[in-house]
Structure 1
Amino acid sequence: MPPRLGNAQRLLSSQRQITSSQSPLIYNSSTALSSSSISSPCRSLPQSRAFSSTPRVQAGPSLRQELIWWLKGPGSVFRNPLPGSTNYVSAYDDKGVLRRERHRRFEGEDAEEKNEGENEDEDISAERMEDLRPFPLNQTFHSQSVLSEELRNEIYEQVVTKGNSVRHVSVSFGIDMRRIGAVVRLVELEKRMRSEKKPLALPYARAIHQMVPLTPLAEKGELQRRHEPINDLPVHKLTDPQIFYPVSESRRFTRVDAARVFSAAPEVTEDKRDVPGNTPEAIAKITQAPHNIERVGKGANEQQVLQPADVRIPHPHLVAFEHDVIEFPSETRKRSQRYNDRLKAEMEKETLRKEKKKAREAAQLTRVQPENGRFEFRFRDVVVSRETTGLDGRGVKGVGRRYGVPHADRRRGEVKIPTKVEV
């Protein structure tokens, strides 16, 4: 049996009581065991070890204390934010000094410009690209600007009131045509809500406009700042595969030939091979008559031949304008006149094409209205064939055959709101 150490334990407890009453220091059992004043009838106990050999780390300031220090120090500049600026954290250094202000001082500007209050505020409020990072740890993300209220109202005025085309307004303000259509729809909805006396989230809108950069409306006589690129070309599905097409070195291989290769279309003839496809005449021939584009394939797989990028961009008439800049470098008035004539001709062709389409659809309808009736019945003849229903039976031209097949607009994720603006 192990030896009983009852006397030793009693001695240890009494020694602890004596030491704790004499000194306020922390008592350690190992010190008591090593003391020579303790006598035990049994053999001496082995010296005990501490639970961990790692020294205790001194606790630093808590997160709350660091936050309070930051609010009283570098973060105090956010109590009175700089007007007309986004005031992101990344725009200030660790001492609360505006980075672009420090950079401007290091550039060595004149002392008179530094003392002028208004000029200094105007220079400071203009953010740089480095100042538009709302997340300091994400250096690749930059906050994108939004349209100001004045610019949105001017776009609506140009499109709806003055009757300018969406394409013309897009080029004038440097805004994508899809955004122009969205602005017109939203402003129209806002006006309708005001007429119906519905509440608007104006405080929320003002708060958002203070947190993100804005694209303002230029003053009269000044050049309007562009909001975004307007000629971005989306990736076409026919250009996804990688094709190795052997071509002789003596042949002139252009964008038109590459587009026909992606479309699996036959080569152009010899008389059309050397005709450039990016001239103003060649571009207008396709943009003003898109129904004349060559088609390849059979049945449901029939599609138009892919056109070069000079034609597929949202504003192909800008390519023709650059041609005029090269041909007429010193005739600004003539270039502007040719540019306006192209837009006018394209609008006339587009209007005529829409009128013909409406007349053709009206001719296919049979309208029946009973006497003293409130409703009008409209009937349309439908041709049911493999060409109209398609291989999957969901063709939009063969409606009468689609019994039992759910319509595509009932699926989740389908766009059910208007996607274009009829002006």
Structure 2
Amino acid sequence: MLEGKNIIVGICGSIAAYKSAMLVRLLVKAGANVQVVMTPDAAEFITPLTLSTLSKNPVHINYFDRSTGEWDNHVALALWGDIFLIAPATANTLAKMANGLCDNLLTAIYLSAKCPVYFAPAMDLDMWKHPATVQNVAKLQAYGNILIPAGTGELASGLYGEGRMAEPEEIVALLSDQLKKKLPLADIKILVTAGPTFEAIDPVRFIGNHSSGKMGFAIADELAHRGADVTLIAGPTSQTLKNPAIKLVNVTTAAEMLEACTHYYPQHTACIMSAAVADYTPVTVAPQKIKKQDAVLNIELTKTTDILKTLGESKRDDQLLIGFALETEKEEEYAVEKLRKKNLDLIILNSMNDEGAGFKGDTNKITIIDKHLQKTIFTLKTKTEVARDICEKVIQLLNP
């Protein structure tokens, strides 16, 4: 959720400033761009060099650098930020923010900020409970600022109680959750399948196909990026997850994929079946490696269960089911037939006759057909871009 976000981290003069080093590190690790702003007193508790190293950016402290004659433009920095996070926020800084005082760079940026402002208080128990602090916090919340509640525990004074700054891991998790709630697919559970299936002939050989899993993994990643809770059922593939929030279920055979799909689909709002599931599987699997002896080897095959059709038969009115059709002839005719027979909401057609489409490559060319036979034709794009187009269609269907 934080990847690519511009986050201003404001640090005030508190012993809790030591936690800010870990906070900055976690934000950078999550993919955020971080600029640190310190009050002059904060530099007495933790060095700007530490925070500059961790954030990979110069630290901002003063309006004006007398050694260089340069002015630190607080307005430009405020406009840069997607989030302004003040942690730790002392009683002194909270009072200034609540009453519009602006005697340092941090408070100047606060008054100029148009982005959401989060503040994580840090102070002793009696200061936190003082009516003035309580009133200032209430005023800041009334202004639209977001409180990250103070924790309870041992304080720097030796007392035990409320007032300690939230832990860095808690702050990062809260920011991620807040951002996720604003996304179009927030908390919607979506099931995705990807890759091929391998149907064993003997312990070392199998029947498979050329599916790389790239399309399914790209779809799962894009859905998660838009806030969905994604479960990805993947056949044998070398692809790896970019988003650790995606639940990965590994399978090998068509039978295993069927079992996983029928287990997970009832708990999900939508399912996108991009896996290339084998249509046939050997009737028997040799217990030992088959030796090359005869000029001809005959293997008896039997049809696998049609997973897409099985899910379509159990699909509820509140669920979506989306399938893929990779065709080599009569592409649109076969895709529409599949759409109707399998009770799908969308069919995503790609043709092996289109250069750059199909298995293994990094590009694809699709046509999306809905159950009303309205079709949208797309140009050749990267699979990441194709995944975005598919997700836009899913959002339209879920939020008409």
Larger strand fraction of residues: 2
The answer, yes or no, to whether TM exceeds 0.5 is no
Query: TM-score, normalising length from structure 2?
Result: 0.22
- Larger helix proportion of the pair: 1
| Greater relative contact order, per chain length (Cα 8 Å cut-off, separation 6+) | 2
